[in-house]
Amino acid sequence: NQSSLSAFLTNRVGDAFLMIGMFILLWTLGTLDYSTVFSLAPYINENITTIIGICLLIGAMAKSSQVGLHIWLPMAMEGLVTGALLKFHYMRGHPLTLKSTSYFVAIGKIFNVGQSAGNLYNIQGSSETIRETIKIDNTFKWWLIGFAEGDGYFGVDKKGYLTFKVTQSTTDCQVLFFIKKSLGFGSVSLQSKSSKTHQYRVRDKNNLIKIINIFNGNLITKAKIAQFKLFLEAFNNKYNTDITFIECNKKVTLDNAWLSGFTDGEGCFTASAYLSKATNKHIVTVRYVISQKNDIEFSQYLAELINGYITYIKSYDGYNTVVNHSKLNIILNYIKSYPLKTKKHVSYLRWLKVYELVKDKHHHNPEGIEIIKSLIKLINK
């Protein structure tokens, strides 16, 4: 009959919108895992967040017969006029129903407010002729510098085109949208389908000047300083400017977000568990690792700063700075003050849970070691 058909069609509309919303979510973040989605939600592009929210909201409203998509319910109750009207009135006026839409609006506002917190600083050039000013959050600025020292690139191609770019895997491209939103310029695009990577890129003169003013004099690693210096020389030659290269003599500190950004780019959280034949007990290793190629001075200084040690890795001719379980307090307190911004933050939270379980000796009982082993498998997934 007509009421059955109406109910069927309305529910299929709900299914369609729910599927569209979940597909966009999966395409954007690469997962539907609750903890991952909630951790990365603040960094999704606002327009995409709005589309996802609208799709999920309409889907839920259609499936639960909320006002506006309730047309089948009164028809299904035909003949029971009093009961139908009472139920319809209850649905429309119940506090839980009224709060459903405002909840999503409130969540959106919370995310927007959370992204703009912090102190703003003016970054500008030294020459009146090329001065470009940008208001930038100081914590974000140092995070970006550290992140770019790991995954950024100052490039000049054969045709003389100048590019600043940051590359990430497609499943972690939301951080590139976060960078674009925070800076207010640049573009995010697919870099390679085969390698599944996206890129944030800046190529125009005025915005490259802003990038130069952020990084000039603030870089720490030798390789990136050398790369930036060549880039700046090419920029001055191309645009007939005289931006002075500022000597970089800064070192890593725990007083800004540089190390957080560098960890997002080059850091790794590892854990492993095995049964010792000598003691017949489970041994769990929990480590924080930073990789750096061809800069032993940097690695040595960083190791001293965070109470770690360095090891030479022959396979890529570089050094790892490693902090073991018993000496992780410094890095744990630091990340609490300067949280990670990529999906590596999710890995960190899982790794942190392993650390806490081991700290509380749960690896010494059968149930605890099984939980730890399960978490270890998920750390870098």
- Tens-place pLDDT, residues 294-304: 788 999 999 99
**Of 287 and 195, which is predicted with more confidence?**
287
My answer on whether 276 and 350 are in the same domain is: yes
C-alpha–C-alpha distance, residues 256 and 146, integer Å:
10
270: Cα separation from own chain's centroid: 19
At 141, which amino acid appears? K
My answer on whether 127 and 222 are in the same domain is: yes
**Percent of the chain, pLDDT > 90?**
53
**pLDDT for position 280:** 86
- Tens-place pLDDT, residues 167-225: 999 888 999 999 999 999 999 998 988 888 999 999 999 999 999 999 999 999 999 99
Average pLDDT over residues 117-141: 61
196: Cα separation from own chain's centroid: 17
Average pLDDT over residues 15-33: 82
Q: What is the DSSP letter of 153?
A: E
> What CATH code is carried by the domain that includes residue 366?
3.10.28.10
Residue 275 in any domain: the answer is yes
Last residue of some domain: 65, 88, 115? 115
Determine the structural domain holding residue 214 and report its residue range. Answer: 120-239
**Mean pLDDT rounded to a whole number for the chain:** 82
Last residue of some domain: 85, 100, 115? 115
Cβ density class 53-84: b for 16+ within 10 Å, e for less: bebbbbbbbbbebbeebbebbbbbbeeeeeeb
My answer on whether 93 and 129 are in the same domain is: no
CB 153 within 8 A of CB 227: yes
My answer on whether 108 and 211 are in the same domain is: no
My answer on whether 178 and 96 are in the same domain is: no
**Residue 194 token pair:** 């085969």
Q: Which of 102, 112, 104, 98 is nearest to 54 (CA)?
A: 104
Computed over its alpha carbons, how large is the radius of gyration of the chain?
A: 26
Last residue of some domain: 76, 95, 115? 115
My answer on whether 286 and 374 are in the same domain is: yes
C-alpha–C-alpha distance, residues 174 and 44, integer Å:
5
This prediction's pTM: 0.68
Residue 251 in any domain: the answer is no
Q: Which of 50, 55, 269, 49 is nearest to 174 (CA)?
A: 49
Does the pLDDT at position 112 exceed 50?
A: no
In the chain, the number of structural domains is 3
**pLDDT for position 132:** 56
Reported as a pLDDT band with limits 50, 70 and 90, residue 128 is very low
